[in-house]
Amino acid sequence: MIEHFGSHTFKINANLLSGAYPIISELYGPTQELEMEFKIKRPTVSFGIADNDVGFEFEFDFGIKLAGDMNFLIYDEMKLRFEGDLVFDQEVLFGELSTITIEQTGQNKGQRTLPVFNSLSMAEDNYVRFWQWARNFVEVGKRYLNVDILSYGVKMPYWHLQLLTQTMFK
């Protein structure tokens, strides 16, 4: 099992997170440059779950820092799960996602009222607002993936070459 898939850092301005964490813009201003860090862990693919062809999930550590700073303003642990039906037709992937969910993971998963770490003195109602924003974001993302990406198809990069696969069971 792959335990650690990769770590990625993105630079953004605080105003892009105003829906998720308005406290950052309030404290540092909307033009404050931030670094968002993602560490993807435990990616898992499942086939034939419920009424879906495939499921994919991964956990991720998520942190926000001021640009150039080493300390997190906010750090949390989450899981993202996708389920749906996929088909390959003439080397193009088509599909429809039935479910995308996001949830807490790690210690006290589902019970935390604040992120794993926050140096902003964030109140519990701000964290509730974050989860409302996150669940809305994944619903909008699901519609986008279904309507604008998967319904048109994603061309595979192997151009009529044989795709070799290996399946292992534990």
DSSP 138-162: HHHHHHHIIIIIITT-EE-TTTTPP
State which residues form the domain around 65.
Answer: 4-154
What CA–CA distance (Å, rounded) separates 136 from 69? 30
Rounded average pLDDT over 134-157? 93
pTM greater than 0.75: yes
Is residue 100 assigned to a domain?
yes
Asked if residue 122 is part of any domain, the answer here is yes
pLDDT at 1: 46
Residue 64 lies in a domain: yes
Q: Is residue 135 part of a domain?
A: yes
Q: pLDDT tens, 1-32?
A: 445 556 788 898 888 888 899 999 999 999 99
Domain for residue 108, yes or no? yes
pLDDT, position 92: 86
Residue-wise pLDDT tens digits, 47-66? 887 788 899 999 999 999 99
Tell me, yes or no, whether 99 lies in a domain.
yes
pLDDT score of 159: 60
Is there a domain that residue 164 lies in?
Answer: no
**Model confidence over 97-123: pLDDT tens digits?**
999 999 999 888 889 999 999 999 899
Asked if residue 67 is part of any domain, the answer here is yes
Number of structural domains in the chain: 1
